A and B are shown apart, each in its own frame.
Chain A
Amino acid sequence: MSNGIINWFKFSSPQTFYPLAGKMIPWFWALTAIFGVAGLTIGFFVAPTDAQQGEGYRIIFVHVPASWMSMFIYLVMAFWAALGLGFNTRLSGMMASALAPTGALMAFLSLWTGALWGKPMWGTWWVWDARLTSELILFFLYLGFIALQSAIDDARRADKAGAVLALVGVINIPIIYFSVKWWNTLHQGASVSLTKSPSMAQTMLWGMLLMALAFWMYSIAVSLTRVRAIILERERHAGWVEELPELKS
């Protein structure tokens, strides 16, 4: 704090961020639980049965939030990557690598639940729809990021190399999306359109939004837990880590 301006850089060092993250994690878990319980209650008990799709549609309460989070986490990851490259901050790289597994998990969940939904609704596990295909490629990009980071032993180099890859990926994602979309319309492979969704009942929308919030809070809680583990691993030789009360006992 200086001159009344908030010092945004105070928590950019692992030493100050580690205890802050520790304090925030229980709150985000609590929010996950609250939003999750509310969203699931609405999803399972309040929301009406869909006229066309029956009970099977209820998978969207997991599917849509997972898809949103998979895309959003990649953007956040690229944001931290850019900060890390630009300001050469250590914590940014740690955040990016802490987010990647959660993003990959969300992309996988989205594909998996999509397949489970597609089988009863479309009669097939998989169609080469633009959204499905670009979600699959997003999943591959996450895997590439994780593979690159784990192949490099030097943590700082792994951070920077991963950052370059994340930024190249983030430029590419819109191009990939549109190319797949146009490719799809040329082939006219999928007769089902995901974009023309029937207008949703208000309660269904609420359930979905609450579940999206729950997924969001979950992602933050898990990423913070993971970043704390990464900090401990990388800073294990630092003096302040040895001073930590939880490690002294």
Chain B
Amino acid sequence: MAETGILSALGAVIRRDLLLAMRRKSDVLTTLFFFVIVVSLFPLGIGPEMGMLRQIAPGVLWVAALLASMLSLPRLFAADHADGTLEQMALSAVPLGVLVTGKIVAHWLVSGLPLALLAPVLGLQFDLPADALGVMVLALLIGTPVLSLIGAVGAGLTLGVRGGGVLVSLLVLPLYVPALIFGAGAVESHISGLGATAHLSLLAAFLALAAFFGPWATTVALRIALE
């Protein structure tokens, strides 16, 4: 298989998944509104004091982003598994890992990227300064692909399993911890004047590791599920 064939297959999978997502907009929007609502609930529960809100903002936004991206995980492979597309993908001449990577990229474009773009608006509710909002967007841009990559492993493992939706949260959330710490830490250390570079670099390193192992582990998990 020529390299162009692999790349075109990757592009085709991404285009297909994006098209499918656009045809069913409510699925995508539900996740986004979940993110908005969860973040907006925190001030109601904690109180409107701005100093406190400014302090908890990075953590709240990140935890909400984890939950929102986890919410959309069961959909990642379920539909393709149900109608047999996934089996065709596993049988095709293109390596399954490439197709899985395409699906993960599409999942991020649909569920991670909008979160990162929406975060500044929500950050304003918490009175974050403008430069901190910039760091927040940058951290989310680096961190949300990690969530999609790790989440895909969990989604592959729980494919077609009883109570898969709840189970995936149990599997995936502990593994999200480093992304949460470095992501929220970047914004916090920027606010406190320490600079966000260290946290962002570590987050990017974690992304590199997840990008290397994630699709591979997901492929193994999917092959187990398809047996």
Contact with B along A149-162 (1 / 0, CB 8 A): 00111001100110
Residues B220 and A157 in contact, CB atoms below 8 Å apart: no
| Chain B positions within 8 Å of A183 at CB level | 181, 185
B11 to chain A, nearest CB (A): 28
A188 to chain B, nearest CB (A): 12
Residues B220 and A180 in contact, CB atoms below 8 Å apart: no
Is the C-beta of B17 less than 8 angstroms from some C-beta in chain A? Answer: no
Count B interface residues, CB 8 Å: 31
Contact with A along B177-209 (1 / 0, CB 8 A): 110011001001100000000000010001001
In the bound assembly, the distance between CA atoms of A152 and B157 in angstroms comes to 10
Is the C-beta of A105 less than 8 angstroms from some C-beta in chain B? Answer: no
A137 to chain B, nearest CB (A): 5
SS class of chain B's interface: helix, strand, loop or mixed?
helix
Interface centre among B182, B188, B189, B220 (most CB of A within 10 A): B220
In the bound assembly, the distance between CA atoms of A143 and B175 in angstroms comes to 13
Residues A186 and B188 in contact, CB atoms below 8 Å apart: yes
Residues B220 and A165 in contact, CB atoms below 8 Å apart: no
Is the C-beta of B225 less than 8 angstroms from some C-beta in chain A? Answer: yes
Is the C-beta of A168 less than 8 angstroms from some C-beta in chain B? Answer: yes
A96 to chain B, nearest CB (A): 14
Is the C-beta of A147 less than 8 angstroms from some C-beta in chain B? Answer: yes
Contact with B along A123-148 (1 / 0, CB 8 A): 00000000000000100110110011
Is the C-beta of B52 less than 8 angstroms from some C-beta in chain A? Answer: no
Q: Tell which of B163, B173, B177 touches A179, judged by Cβ atoms closer than 8 Å.
A: B177
Is the C-beta of A25 less than 8 angstroms from some C-beta in chain B? Answer: no
- Closest A residue to B169 by beta carbon equals A144
B121 to chain A, nearest CB (A): 27
Residues B177 and A137 in contact, CB atoms below 8 Å apart: yes
| Chain A positions within 8 Å of B221 at CB level | 161, 164
- Closest B residue to A169 by beta carbon equals B175
- Closest B residue to A153 by beta carbon equals B162
A210 to chain B, nearest CB (A): 33
In the bound assembly, the distance between CA atoms of A165 and B213 in angstroms comes to 12
Contact with B along A87-126 (1 / 0, CB 8 A): 0000000000000000000000000000000000000000
Residues B171 and A151 in contact, CB atoms below 8 Å apart: no
Is the C-beta of B82 less than 8 angstroms from some C-beta in chain A? Answer: no
Is the C-beta of B124 less than 8 angstroms from some C-beta in chain A? Answer: no
B2 to chain A, nearest CB (A): 31
Residues B161 and A151 in contact, CB atoms below 8 Å apart: yes
Is the C-beta of A46 less than 8 angstroms from some C-beta in chain B? Answer: no
Residues A168 and B213 in contact, CB atoms below 8 Å apart: yes
Q: Tell which of A143, A157, A167 touches B227, judged by Cβ atoms closer than 8 Å.
A: A157
Contact with A along B136-180 (1 / 0, CB 8 A): 000000000000001001000110011110010011011101100
B28 to chain A, nearest CB (A): 27
In the bound assembly, the distance between CA atoms of A165 and B225 in angstroms comes to 13
In the bound assembly, the distance between CA atoms of A172 and B180 in angstroms comes to 14
Is the C-beta of B117 less than 8 angstroms from some C-beta in chain A? Answer: no
| Chain A positions within 8 Å of B157 at CB level | 148, 161, 164-165
B199 to chain A, nearest CB (A): 9
Is the C-beta of B12 less than 8 angstroms from some C-beta in chain A? Answer: no
**11 further interface pairs, Cβ-Cβ under 8 Å (given A172-B178, A175-B209, A182-B185):** A148-B157, A148-B161, A148-B171, A151-B162, A151-B167, A161-B157, A164-B217, A164-B220, A165-B153, A175-B206, A179-B181
CB within 8 Å of A: which residues of B? 150, 153, 157-158, 161-164, 167, 170-171, 173-175, 177-178, 181-182, 185, 188-189, 202, 206, 209, 213, 217, 220-221, 224-225, 227
18 A–B contacts from the bound complex (CB under 8 Å): A85-B220, A140-B170, A141-B174, A144-B170, A147-B171, A151-B167, A161-B225, A164-B153, A165-B171, A167-B217, A168-B213, A168-B217, A169-B175, A172-B175, A179-B178, A182-B185, A186-B185, A186-B188
Closest CB pairs A-B (n = 10): A179-B178, A140-B174, A160-B224, A183-B181, A144-B171, A179-B181, A144-B170, A161-B157, A151-B161, A137-B174
